[in-house]
Structure 1
Amino acid sequence: MGTPLGNFIRAKRDSIQPESLGLPERGHRRSPGLRRLDLATRGGISVEYLTRIEQGRDRNPSTAVINALADALSLSPSERTHLRYLAKITGDRCSADFRPAPPPRRVRPSVLTTLRLLEPGIAIVTNRLGDVLAHTGGYESVTSGTGLLDTDLPNLTRYVFTDPRARTFFTDWDDIADEQAFDLWLAPSLENLEWLTAELTPMAGPDLTRRLNRHVVPRRGVLRLYHPAGHELRLLRETLELPADAQQLVVFLPADEQTAEAIDQLHRRPHGRLRSIS
C-alpha cells in the first residue's frame, strides 16, 4: 500500500521530462516522466531504496534523503514544504501512538472580536477540511444566493465538489477544486475522517480522488467569482494562520475598482451579521 509521501514522489517523477533536467533521451519508455534510475542517481540513493519509499515499504526516510529527493526533483519552495510535511505525517502514522483528533470547531472569542472589527469586510474563519466556522456579514452578502451557507454546518470542500452551483460561482472552478483537495492533506485528522470516506468521496467521485492523488500544490491566485446577481468579482486573499486552533482567518479584498463597487452594491442588499457556527 502506498503512502502520501510515496504517491507524491511518484507523481512528480512521472510529470518530469528527462530533457528538462539535462538528461539524455533514452528512447521509447513504457511510462512517462523520469525513470527511477535517473531520480535515484540524482538523489544519491539506490533504486531499490527509492522503490521502497514510493511503494510505502519505507515510511521513515531521513531528512537528508528527503532534501536530496527535493533537489533531484527540482521542487519549488512550496513543493519542498509539502514534501517535508508528507514525510512527517507518513512517519507519524507508522507510530502506534498516532491518534489523529478532529480539528476543533470552536472559534476563540478574540478571533470573533477580530471578525467584528473587519465588518463590513469579507472574512471567514475556516479549517483545512473546509468547514466555515465563522464569517462576517460581508462574506454572507458576497455568497448570498449561491447555496454555500445554506446548511447548518457549511463546508467549502463539500460545496465545491458536490453542489452544481459552485461551478458557476467559482469562475476558475478547477483551480479552487485543486486548493480544497490539497488542503485536506494539511488537515490534522485525514485518516479518520468518516465524512470524507463515507460521504464526500462517493459523492465527489474522481474529481476529488484524482486531485488527492496528484498532490498538486495550488497557485492560489486572484479569486474570481460570478455572483448570482450578475456581478463579476475579483478578490485578493490574505490568510492569517491560527496554528493553536488549526484554523485560518481569511480576509478577501477587492482586486479592482469594479469589484469594490459591486461589493458595495451587494452590501446594500439585506444580509445577516457576524455568525459563529459551532
Structure 2
Amino acid sequence: MGTPLGDFVRTRRDSIQPQALGLPDHGRRRSPGLRRSDVAARAGISVEYLTRIEQGRDRNPSVAVLNALADALALGPAERGHLRYLSKITGGECTAHARPEPPSREVRPSVLETLRLLEPGIAMVTNRLGDILAWTATFGTVTEGSGLLEAGEPNLTRYVFTDARARKFFVAWDDVADEQAFDLWLGPKIENAEWFTAELAPLAGPDFTRRMNRHVVPPRGVLRIGHPGGCELRLRRETLDLASDAQQLVVMLPADEETAAAVERLRDRAGEDRPRLRAIS
C-alpha cells in the first residue's frame, strides 16, 4: 500500500523528462518521466531504497534523504515544503477511528477588526479545509447569487466540488479545484483533513479523488469569477497566514481597471441593503 510521500515522489518522477535535467534519453521506456535509477543516482541513494519509499515500505526517510530527493527531482520551494509535510504525516499517520474535534470556527476579535478596516475591500477569513469563517460586506456582494454563502456554515471546498454553480462562478474551475484539493493536505490537523476527505470523496467523485492523489503544487494565479450579474472579475489574492489560529486572511484585489469598475458597480447596486461584516462561530 502506498503512502502520500511515496505517491508524491513517484508522481514527480513520472512528470520530469530526462532532457529537462540534462540527462540522456535512453529511448522507449515502460513509464513516462525519469527512471528510478536516474533519480537514485542524482540523490545518492540505492534504487532499492527509492523503490521502498515510493511503495510505502519506508515511511521515515531522514532529512538528508528528503533534501537529496528534492534536489534530484529539482523541486521548487513550495514543492519542497510539501515533500517535508508529506514525510511528517507519512511517518506518523493517524489510525484513530473516532471522529476528531472539528477545527475552531472562532475568529479572534482583532482579526474581525482587521476585516472591518479592510472595508470596502474584498476579504475573508478561512482555513485550509475551506471553511469560510468571516467575510467583508463586499465579499458578500461579489459572491452574491453564486450559492457560495448560502449554507449555514459555508465551505469553499465542498462548494467547488459539489455545487454545479461553482463551474460557472469560477471561470478557471480546474485551477480552483486544484487549489482546494491541495490545501486539504495542509489542514488544521491531519485528522480533520482525513475525516473531511472521507466525507467529501463519495459526493465529489473522481474530480476530487484524482486531485488528492496528484500532489501537484498549484500556481495560484489570478482568480477569475463569472459573476451571476454578467460580468467577469479578475482578482489577485494576497494571503496572510494566521498560524496560531490555523486560519488565513485572504484579500482579493482587482487585477485590472475593468474589474475595479465592475466591483464598484456591484457595490453601488447593493447600496444600503448591502450585508455588513459577517462571522460564523
Q: Which residue of 2 aligns with 1:276?
A: 279
What do the CA deviations read for 1:11-51 (whole angstroms, capped 9, x no partner)?
00011112222222222221111111111111000111111
Question: What SS does the aligned partner of 2:175 have?
Answer: helix
The size of the alignment, in residue pairs, is 275
Question: C-alpha distance in 2, partners of 1:182/1:53?
Answer: 21
Q: Which amino acid is 1:52 matched to?
A: R
Structure 2 equivalent of residue 87 of structure 1 = 87
In structure 2, the CA distance between the partners of 1:43 and 1:140, relative to structure 1 (3 Å rule), is same
Q: Which residue of 2 aligns with 1:194?
A: 195
TM-score (normalizing by structure 2): 0.93
Unaligned runs of at least 5 residues, structure 1:
none
Question: Which letter does structure 1 place at the counterpart of 2:110?
Answer: S
C-alpha distance in 2 between matches for 1:272 and 1:162: 26
Post-superposition CA distance 1:93-126 (Å, at most 9, x none):
2799xx9754221111111111111111111000
Q: CA RMSD in A?
A: 1.7
Counterpart contact for 2:94–2:191, Cα < 8 Å: no
Residue 67 of structure 1 is matched in structure 2 by 67
| d(CA) in 2 for partners of 1:194, 1:246 | 17
Residue correspondence of structure 1 range 1-278 to structure 2 within 5 A: 1-93=1-93, 102-192=102-192, 193-198=194-199, 200-268=200-268, 269=270, 270-278=273-281
Runs of 5+ unmatched residues, structure 2: none
Give distance in 1, aligned partners of 2:184 and 2:175. Answer: 15
Q: Deviations over 1:126-178 (max 9, x none)?
A: 00000001111110000000000000010000111111111111111111111
**Does the 8 Å CA contact 1:126/1:248 hold for their aligned counterparts?**
yes
* Aligned-partner Cα distance in 1 for 2:226–2:141: 13
Per-residue CA shift, 1:226-270, capped at 9, x if unaligned?
100011111111111000000000011111111111111111213
Q: Is the 8 A contact 1:102 1:189 kept in 2?
A: no
Q: Normalising by structure 1, what TM-score?
A: 0.94
2:158 maps to a residue whose letter is R
